[in-house]
Structure 1
């Protein structure tokens, strides 16, 4: 009996020891294995956005050691491995053969490419001649933020889009369906992953757009390579009645920027002509930068009835580089300032300055980028202008003097007869040449970038034409008698000074002049 008991105990101990050994091996394997999370920056191009993908979307993964990926420093066991996601942006190896382990003695980085292509080099063939499955041509490149080592957890991949998008919304009397082609569109390119360089080939075709919706308005899209279309490119519309309309889109000479969407409203008229109106998603949106530290955010009004404002927010420096918004009678009313200071629910609190008590520095205000007085329709809309993401460290006399007078004038221009909507971009520049970024402290003692200058870019449509103007002011005290007209410039000049591209749907000629009859 005793022998039998000892035998049972021995078997049990052996079994438990085996289980512990197996469990330990599983843990070690999990710690060694490379897994990924992901985020897509820039405007929405297809159903892939932020951390949302489709099930079974797959990417190519390259693991390397050093500052930049080259053919010589790719680690062979991490060359072009296929990883897939279950919609949530978390990527794992498709098969056991695709699994990658962290090297025990090396710090490594990663580059990813979407979509996965099984190749033995760092070059990818891109082809956009078929627009009907746009997700497959929404080409993207992803990078890990930092070098990582053994047992350090999932790797964050930050993806940026390589392509631009054109969207047209077409309507016309008696027309309820339209097809469209762009002629002389470049359809092939080579992308060199290690150099992040896209080189279009001299191959051009007539490419039919993808029809997203029909009815009173037809929506058609093309994913295109960045850059300018051929000057000979035309967009040809064919209605359900068989009528053909031609728009010489190539003559716009628009420089389409990767990661951005360009939208046009098209009226097909009875006399057979095309009347295009650029809206570029929303007319006020500048070209959006792709960066791990910058996040584009679009806000509807709290009641979801209309768009409110957009911003390009710098989570590292806790400041919006710009805030863009429409201004019209739809947003103006009798609501007074709510002073409802609060965190912006669109961002983590830890990426925002805490400014419930202001900056606590004499001569520095919590300067709004979208003014409180530009959202006075109701309490809820006005409250959104008091989000901390909309605040900047602005010189008090500037904020309460010259800048306030300029904002009053903009509201006056928006109310002028014949003006439907004023499009406004307000920005705060934190870098000027090689000068270092200056910081002030928030209520937690955290650093917040202090702007070196402010600017406004304005566009308005009167009749069939758009008119633009820009303003640029240093973040320092201005003379009490100073007039904002002393700080005006063309939008084209403002682009050169700030490095941003405003109203990308408008021709350069429109952005290179100021019509004094409009801006008086």
Structure 2
């Protein structure tokens, strides 16, 4: 009865509010519509099974009225999961506006869909769906189907996951990773690169834990970086995912970070990342970035003072069609139509230089060094290539 009464009051409040703003004609009143106003997930359109919060980013002209409703299983309040908190009203302020959603733990065997309807003024509602995975559910890479993925290597120390994003109403993969619980880092992060991922949202700096990886297995550098002269080094770069705020925010997950020397991360490594982006083409460019923990690996601390291992090496491997505009999938290409290369980087300061040819090698060589099988859908002949000039490295 208490919940029903609260629902009735909430509905009455919503009706009165709408009635009041619709009767206002004063020029100082909030605008009743904004055709340019948009709503998108702030960090991710999917979350883990634990009790969790996430945000929706609202953009539009200051003064635009908005209303939001939410389905059961989640709330706009961190203190009340009942439907009495299923409605939210507001007016956009200058800059970005965020409304937060709080989800109950999903203890069921099935994923839960939380539907949010957001209306700006008199415009048609915009609908966003948040998927909360179940306790036993894993968001796994589609091995053998996506060209960028290495072959799966089974180990109790490894956890695999894939992050998806929504672009123009379509759900697409952003990146996959193989996370090593012992080293608190991904051994590889695999991702496609194409114009659909390119934009101008810039760095979100949304440092946070990966919702698909057990939080205690991740390094804690949400509030501050690693100890010593080590940056929170991205494996998939922020600049490779800047078409939407959601996809950029996902690159700031702790699972994507390793302790990387500042003078490597900000200098030669950053220039190597730019070289990779320069090879984006009409066909897809497939990339795997990884961290290697070899003999003699030392340690530092994360932002919370926990001991974490420092990679001894980093690597990148690339695969694409030679022409860049074949319109063909990798599986349908002959060896002569494909090009690949590897970059093996010692964890040291190289200076603020362009990537040297000395770091260039073959995919096959990096396979031998790491024990992973990369680009399993292409031949050994393609993976033995090492022609730096084809990739703009002189």
TM range (shorter): 0.5 to 0.7
- Shift of residue 410 of structure 1? 0.7
In 1, are the aligned partners of 2:226 and 2:300 still within 8 Å (CA)?
no
Separation in 2 of the partners of 1:386 and 1:498? Answer: 25
Match of 1:393 in 2: 259
In our comparison, the structure showing a higher alpha carbon Rg is 1
Match of 2:377 in 1: 505
Change (3 A) 1:481 1:517: closer
Match of 2:206 in 1: 340
Separation in 2 of the partners of 1:400 and 1:456? Answer: 16
- Shift of residue 497 of structure 1? 1.7
1:24-423 alignment, distance < 5 Å: 280-302=144-166, 305-415=171-281, 419-423=282-286
- Shift of residue 509 of structure 1? 0.4
2:318 is the alignment partner of 1:455: no
Structure 1 runs, 4 residues or longer, greater than 2 Å off: 356-362, 479-486, 514-518
- Shift of residue 516 of structure 1? 5.3
2:292 is the alignment partner of 1:426: no
Separation in 2 of the partners of 1:338 and 1:493? Answer: 35
**Gap runs ≥5 in structure 2:** 1-107, 110-140, 327-332
TM-score computed with the length of structure 2 as normaliser:
0.58
Separation in 2 of the partners of 1:491 and 1:407? Answer: 17
**Gap runs ≥5 in structure 1:** 1-86, 89-259, 263-279
SS at match of 1:454: strand
- Shift of residue 482 of structure 1? 5.3
Count, aligned residues: 241
In 1, are the aligned partners of 2:360 and 2:386 still within 8 Å (CA)?
no
Separation in 1 of the partners of 2:294 and 2:320? Answer: 29
In 2, are the aligned partners of 1:364 and 1:396 still within 8 Å (CA)?
yes
2:304 is the alignment partner of 1:468: no
2:368 is the alignment partner of 1:496: yes
SS at match of 2:239: helix
In 1, are the aligned partners of 2:271 and 2:354 still within 8 Å (CA)?
no
SS at match of 2:279: helix
Separation in 2 of the partners of 1:517 and 1:393? Answer: 30
In 2, are the aligned partners of 1:358 and 1:365 still within 8 Å (CA)?
no
1:484 to 344, 350, 356: 356
Which structure ranks higher in relative contact order (CA pairs < 8 Å, sequence separation ≥ 6)?
Answer: 2
In 1, are the aligned partners of 2:206 and 2:249 still within 8 Å (CA)?
yes
- Shift of residue 485 of structure 1? 2.6
Change (3 A) 1:261 1:311: closer
Provide Cα deviations, 1:201-226, integer angstroms capped at 9, x if missing partner: xxxxxxxxxxxxxxxxxxxxxxxxxx
Provide Cα deviations, 1:464-485, integer angstroms capped at 9, x if missing partner: 4221000001111113335333
- Shift of residue 317 of structure 1? 2.0
Change (3 A) 1:516 1:430: closer
In 2, are the aligned partners of 1:323 and 1:425 still within 8 Å (CA)?
yes
In 1, are the aligned partners of 2:227 and 2:303 still within 8 Å (CA)?
no
In 1, are the aligned partners of 2:264 and 2:348 still within 8 Å (CA)?
yes
- Shift of residue 302 of structure 1? 4.9
Separation in 1 of the partners of 2:318 and 2:239? Answer: 17
Provide Cα deviations, 1:72-112, integer angstroms capped at 9, x if missing partner: xxxxxxxxxxxxxxx97xxxxxxxxxxxxxxxxxxxxxxxx
SS at match of 1:350: helix
Separation in 2 of the partners of 1:407 and 1:479? Answer: 15
Q: Could you say what the CA RMSD is over the residues aligned between the two structures, in angstroms?
A: 2.2
Change (3 A) 1:316 1:459: same
Separation in 2 of the partners of 1:327 and 1:347? Answer: 24
Change (3 A) 1:351 1:307: same
